[in-house]
A and B are shown apart, each in its own frame.
Chain A
Amino acid sequence: MILISLMRNCLTILLAALGHASFGYAATPLQKPVVKTVPALLPALPKAERLEANVSEIKLESRRAYRQLVVTAYFNGAARDVTQSAIFRVADEKIASLQKGRVHPLNDGNTRLTISFGDKNLALPISVSHFAEAEPIRFKSETVAALTKNGCSAGSCHGSPHGKGGFSLSLFGYDPRIDKVSLVRDGFNRRLDIMQPEGSLMLKKPLLEVSHGGGKKLRKTDTAYRVFRDWIYEGANVDLPAVECEKVVIFPGAARVLKAPFLQQQMSVLAYFSDGSARDVSALAHYESSHPDVAEVDADGLIVGKARGQAAISVRYLNALQSLYVTVIEDVKGFQWNNPVEINWVDKLVNEKLKQLQYLPSGTCRDDEFLRRVYLDLTGLLPTAEKTREFLKISAPDKRAKLIDALLDSEEFARFQALKKADLMRVSPRKLKDGRAELFSKWLIERVRQNTPYNQWTHALLTASGDTKKAAPANYYLAIDDEKERAEMTSQIFMGSRIECARCHNHPFENWTMRDYYSITAVFARTKAEKGEIKAVNSGEVLLPTSGERMKPWGLTDEKTQAKTDRRALFADWLTKPDNPLFARVEVNRIWADLIGRGIVEAVDDFRSSNPPSNVPLLEALAAEFIKSGYDRKHIMRLICNSQTYQRTTQTNDFNVTDETLFSHARVRLLSAEQLRDALRLATRSLPDAETIEPSLQDYQKRAEKRRAELENDYKTWLPGAQNEVAQLPLRAGGWFLAGPFAHSDFEKAVETALAPEKFPIDLSARFENSGWQLRPDLEDNRKNNLSTDNNQVHYLGRRIYSAKAQTLEVQIDPDERGRLWLNGKEATKNPFNNGQKVKLELQPGDNDLLLKIVNGGGEANFSFRADETFKNNLNLPPHAVEILALPNDKRSEEQKNLLHEAYFEADKNLNSLNAQITQLENRSDYATQRLYPADSTFATAFGQPKRETACTCERTNSPTLLQALELLNGDMAQQAASSGADKYMKFDDQKLIEELYLSALARFPTAKEIGVAKSFLAKTPDRKTAVTDLIWTVTNTREFLFQH
């Protein structure tokens, strides 16, 4: 079971790596790597306590079997590889031989291998059998594996989607059927020459015996050469389907430390197959180092440490991939550990890694630096001048911890943290229309506000169903209506895994296979979005593209439960269980990256064994703490913010200036688009302190209530007058009624064909396709009205126009994209029309019925209906309310009475503006870091505010760009902020002005020098407003302002 094996693999790697960190070992003088053939000349190596091999016996059961040996010696308990310096002796050299540390058979029989290192010896029995029997080359597990090993099927060569030079292989051999066709059939069978194998192009090209675009890729001494040659010689047999490789086990396990003089490590790789067999594939596995500058690995799996640091050595064999984490230690001259302050266990774990790799952490940052940093990280906002003064005055030792607690409980925190989640979940009104984006955002904010356990709200989100206008979390599925994208988004957000590569081929650097991808996709195949409602349905399957096999949904362990259970629930159960290998780790890593500026795994959504955490024990401990706390995100944030690691200064020392990954100093970070926009406006006092939002909201609410009561009081007296006024109108139109949408498949035909609503006279009570005519007060005249975002739809719009006398009314109609129009049952234009159509409506006295048909092909459906001032009335009422008012009192239904009453309130400008203020305050629309969804602007785009079109944090671009520089130096945003700031600051005298500006912008007092420079600038610039504007502009253009530090 793939699922189980993945979990097991991840866990073993991570846990084993955790174990190694506690090794102790003695420093030893640097020596050159040892060559075993000249033992007599070697300088003395330290004496080992114990000697161990990776096997206890060697059984070679076919003529091509072999076994890679790895010999480990122990020094003060620390394991060190001595394979290259150990001496091997086979007692009977007719039975077996040794090459490159590998035992090969020579004849059936038994013998003994002796391994010596210093004064320690090991003896292993060797038995060889079936040597005389033929053993043909296996196509998949040998030929295809060898193509991968020698790089033939790499993405940059023949494994690219289009192949290379017309020869195409499946990427890393994910589909041997493609490779079979390419090798055996294509190219007029000239790639292989069975009569003369050495003449085959398959050998001559990579040997560079004929020209080869990829250069020399094969030597006759390579294992791959023998595999290819023998395979062709034997007739190029393709034994498909082949036994599958189910897993590989690498020795020495998950992690090793390399330290001089033992800077080498041999690996061995054992593959387990679906027929129950296991074979040593060390010679056919492909080895790759994540950081070749730290540790290199050769084609035989021999690792050599090069420089201080950490690297992952990935071992690929067919579909299986495993990694060994290597830590290379080098003594740094002059380095001395100085036992830095440790506030909590986070510091202890960070410092252990620093000490091991010999980096010295920076000291603690100043109070003002801490204040600005923690405000920006937790709330997205700058502290106000007042807050800064207060905080700097306090002398209590726990003042930082208290501030962290206060910020974690603030509304600003909930808003800003929810924004980051909403980024990933693509909460945008472009896709989530009609209040859905707001609803979903508010739900996310509420989760953070209540600090709902993260596993619970993830589970609720992933299993959400219902009407997306009411069931907020169901919008997760409305945002993405494709099962593959849902699988990718979910994996990226909650599993930190970018599985999208496996849509078309096995993942090039991870264990994610196409099977896994389509199995996760199957989870979402039964979740449908229909007319804004998310439904879990009982049908929908996903087939594996390479074989057509029906995929079982990920998380399904028991076939019987499948029929009755929502597949998403099974998946969510698997995901949020404490033993899930990814869920907790991914989330604590995201929190860490948000606060510290870099993930322990970087990038935060790129968890894979070939991308190691920079500090395994730290990640493990944080994940364990997260689970233990009941998935309490605030608890983890509190822990991190209180650590010395978080509170370090950005100033580096001689022993950590090169460190980018181990958290020895704080990182300088450009403010995000949202942070910077709010910072500019807060520093210039163009935006009120967020703490004033709640009181002013209450004030507006009280005023609105009062106004509503007044209006309610006046309603009875207003009504007769309004009725009278409507009765006098010479021309009035009623509200729009909508029927549809109806799907069509042929645009032109849809324009011509009459559907059910196209019937005269219009019958508003008619029913069609589960719907009927709906009054749509939101469709207004003289503007564009969106009807639908879907392609290929027909909409009908009907309304009644009253005219006191016969008259001609000219209107302009823009139907997107083709329209037809009927007046009183007669078509009003000669032909169907496009945008910009002007129509002269010949109105009869009394009521006139208008029917408009809108047919769209691609893109959204919308329409506009423009008439001049003619429909306006002094009551400021919308058409549907006017129409109701025109009815006699006793002819109005209850619903119509309510509509009229509501329209009466809405017509009041005073109440309207109060309500608009309330909405703006409630939604915090003025604050980029606090609002419900992002507002587009050139400024925000330049600073990388995500479009919310992917689930990737990489949508944000973090490194500075020229566009940003132009925005800052010459943009409206910066200029307007400075200019409106000048109005606020001008009231202060110079000293106070400079002090307030520095406190607001940089959360610190200005230095004497800064005061001097600023004062003389203010003095020499004649116009006070210009002077102050320019000073503000300048301070908000300093890097100290633009960056978090």
Chain B
Amino acid sequence: MEHEHFGTRLGRRSFIGLGVGSLVTALTGLDAIAAPAPEKRGARAKRVLVIFEQGGLSHIDTWDPKPDAPLEHRSPFKPVGTKVPGMQFTELLSKTAKFADKLTVVRCMIQPTPGIGNSHPKGAQYIYTGEAPGGPVEMPDIGSVLASKLGTEALYLPSNIMVPGTSEMGHLTSVGFLPPGYTCFKTGGSPAKPDWRVPNLGLMAGIDEGRFKNRKDLLSSLDVGFVNVGGSKDAAAMQSLMGQAEDMLTNPLTRKAFDLESETPQMREKYGMGHRGQCYLLGRKLIEAGVRYVMVDSREPMDTFVDGKATRFDGGGNMNWDHHDAIYSKSHTNVPNGGAGAGRYGIATWPMMGSTDQALAALIEDMDQRGLLDDTLLCFVTEFGRTPKMNERQGRDHWTNAFSFAFAGAGVPGGQVVGSTDKEGGYITSSMAYTLEDYAATIYEKLGIDRSKPLHMPSGRPIYLAAKGKPIPELF
């Protein structure tokens, strides 16, 4: 059942009939003719937490139930009601459904140019940067842009962190043309592992705090002959950066921000005692500590820890959401004569939606209770959806024509569904459709970044942020 009244509005653009809102207007220039209503501005976010479920999460099995799809292609997972009357997810999101009143689900996400982002590397880069990959300029990630534009609230922590940055496409993050200091910091490893620590964030082996202090004391008495030489800004900058680095290395708060053991066992269990749950929890901790931009890309490792015990998901060598084969398998997807979907686990299993639903429900509730949703924008994203039709290997392939994102916090209305797709979930039927550029524009707008002011490349070329995008109005 569709619920058109939740967000679908027939606006002045609907007569175009193509339903690709901002994109079409950009091409035809209708905005220039009919004076638009001023864009709502709601710069309420101070931080962003992005849950990036990499691989292409099937929208019709999760956020956009399609009970009326033809039987042979229909998802086996039934629609369930949520806390908000009339708003439905599939049963794979039963736990999250209890917090639907905090969420806006956007069912009309689209990659506007077919092909540009229809692969995992390109799709992931698209998510990281909010720009179509392969353009003339290597763009910095949204997190790097935010770090450069807004700096940090917590000097002792990096301002752009990825938890843990181990998904298949984790290596594709980019600082682009920005200085290397804004590079994404990746925690690495698996926070669910009992002895997990962040490498390089703490003093190196063999140098304890006492010795480090001795060195710094000596340095402060020997680094004196060089003060104010030539009024050098660089020399002054180096000194203050050394101070910040020292803080990062020795401030107990740094360690605390990454220390999952400082959380109660109940809290850790609530998120789920596996890899994904602990990654989500770490994401919340870092946001709470004041990190500007945190991206969680929690692909379950094959050899992992659940409840502190070593566990192996046999045959699941790459448990992202790329379900080309046997999407409804109750274990791994390594089917005979299989294709590119081998090495995953079926979508309903614990390492997939089981852990995702629990962790996401816990995250929303926890952030809400801590008041973090007041000024944190929470985004749940994936590079694209999956085909409405099953392939011959009982899998679903990449689908960029329609997919779903979910948002919460920082003024995002709760209990809202934006946009709709046809009865198979294949194409967008609502008058509005939103692109990954719109997603990026939304983040910038929520953080109060003036996109009319460009970044500049070292060559002087001005670069406008999310130039082809517009903030998604229903999120403001």
Residues in A lying within 8 Å of B, measured CB to CB:
155-156, 160-163, 165-168, 182, 186-188, 190-191, 201, 205, 210-211, 498, 500-501, 503-504, 509, 603, 606, 650-652, 657, 665-670, 941-942, 944, 952, 954, 957-966, 968-972, 975, 1007, 1010, 1013-1014, 1017, 1021, 1026, 1030-1031, 1033-1035, 1037-1040, 1042-1043, 1045
Contacts and interface: CB of A to CB of B under 8 A. Distances in A.
Given A156-B464, A167-B29, A966-B248, 10 more contacts: A163-B26, A603-B458, A944-B180, A961-B179, A965-B242, A965-B244, A970-B245, A1007-B225, A1010-B222, A1045-B226
B244 A168 contact: no
Interface stretch (B43-51, B233-241, B263-271): B233-241
B237 A975 contact: no
Contact of B468 (A162, A666, A1031): A162
Nearest to A1030: B215
Given A210-B35, A667-B230, A1040-B226, A970 B204 contact: yes
B17 interface: no
A668 B234 contact: yes
Contact of A162 (B26, B226, B231): B26
Contacts of B462: 155-156
A670 B467 CA distance: 36
Contact of A952 (B249, B454, B459): B459
Interface string B18-57: 0000000111111111011010000000000000000000
B458 A959 contact: no
Contacts of A958: 234
Nearest to A1020: B214
Interface in B212-232: 214-215, 218-219, 221-223, 225-226, 229-232
B32 A167 contact: yes
Interface of B: 25-33, 35-36, 38, 136, 179-181, 183, 200, 203-204, 206-207, 211, 214-215, 218-219, 221-223, 225-226, 229-232, 234-235, 237-239, 241-242, 244-246, 248-249, 452, 454, 458-462, 464, 467-468
B234 A651 contact: no
Nearest to B29: A166
Contacts of B29: 163, 165-168, 182, 186-187
Output the residue of A167, A509, A963, A969 with the most chain B CB within 10 A. A969
Given A665-B230, A970-B245, A1039-B235, A191 B222 contact: no
B204 A972 contact: yes
Contact of B235 (A186, A201, A603, A1043): A1043
Contact of B244 (A962, A1010, A1021, A1039): A962
B459 A969 contact: no
A1030 B223 contact: no
A26 B42 CA distance: 59
A1042 B238 contact: yes
A160 B226 contact: no
Contacts of A966: 200, 245, 248-249
B244 to A, nearest CB: 6
Nearest to A500: B459
B459 A498 contact: yes
B238 A187 contact: no
A187 B222 contact: no
27 contacts: A160-B467, A162-B467, A163-B26, A165-B36, A168-B29, A187-B33, A210-B35, A504-B136, A665-B230, A666-B230, A944-B180, A958-B234, A959-B237, A960-B241, A963-B180, A965-B244, A969-B249, A970-B203, A970-B249, A1030-B214, A1033-B215, A1035-B222, A1038-B225, A1043-B235, A1043-B238, A1045-B229, A1045-B230
A960 B239 CA distance: 9
Given A166-B25, A1034-B219, A651 B229 contact: yes
A182 B203 CA distance: 60
B225 A1043 contact: no
A966 B200 CA distance: 9
A646 to B, nearest CB: 15
Contact of A1040 (B218, B223, B237): B223
Given A960-B238, A1013-B222, A1037-B219, A156 B232 contact: no
Given A959-B237, A961-B241, A965-B241, A166 B32 contact: yes
Contacts of A1014: 222
Contact of A1034 (B180, B222, B452, B468): B222
Given A941-B180, A963-B180, A187 B35 contact: no
B324 to A, nearest CB: 14
A500 B462 CA distance: 13
A793 B269 CA distance: 51
Output the residue of B179, B229, B230, B460 with the most chain A CB within 10 A. B230
A942 B242 CA distance: 14
B232 A1043 contact: yes
A959 B179 contact: yes
Nearest to A1021: B214
Contact of A954 (B230, B248, B458): B458
A1038 B26 contact: no
A165 B31 contact: yes
B221 A963 contact: no
B229 A650 contact: yes
Contacts of B211: 1026, 1030
B204 A975 contact: yes
Contact of A962 (B25, B32, B181, B230): B181
B36 to A, nearest CB: 8
B234 A670 contact: yes
A188 B29 CA distance: 10
B221 A1013 contact: yes
Given A162-B468, A165-B32, A1030-B214, A960 B237 contact: yes
Contact of B460 (A606, A975, A1007, A1034): A606
A971 B215 CA distance: 14
3 tightest CB-CB pairs across the interface, nearest first? A166-B29, A954-B458, A668-B232
Contacts of A503: 136
Contacts of A952: 458-459
A957 B179 contact: yes
B234 A652 contact: no
B459 to A, nearest CB: 5
B33 A968 contact: no
Output the residue of B203, B207, B241 with the most chain A CB within 10 A. B241
Contacts of A166: 25-32
B425 to A, nearest CB: 29
Contact of B218 (A210, A652, A1031, A1039): A1031
A503 B249 CA distance: 46
B78 to A, nearest CB: 37
Contacts of B218: 1013, 1017, 1030-1031, 1034
A963 B467 CA distance: 30
Given A966-B249, A969-B245, A651 B230 contact: yes
Contacts of A1037: 215, 219, 223, 242
B31 A650 contact: no
Contacts of B237: 959-960
A156 B215 contact: no
B420 to A, nearest CB: 25
B234 A960 contact: yes
A399 B226 CA distance: 26
Nearest to B468: A162
Nearest to A650: B230
Contacts of B244: 962, 965
A939 to B, nearest CB: 12
A1021 B136 CA distance: 57
Contact of A501 (B183, B231, B461): B461
A665 B229 CA distance: 11
Contacts of B452: 156
B2 to A, nearest CB: 30
A956 B239 CA distance: 20
Given A165-B32, A666-B230, A1013-B222, A968 B242 contact: yes
Nearest to A186: B29
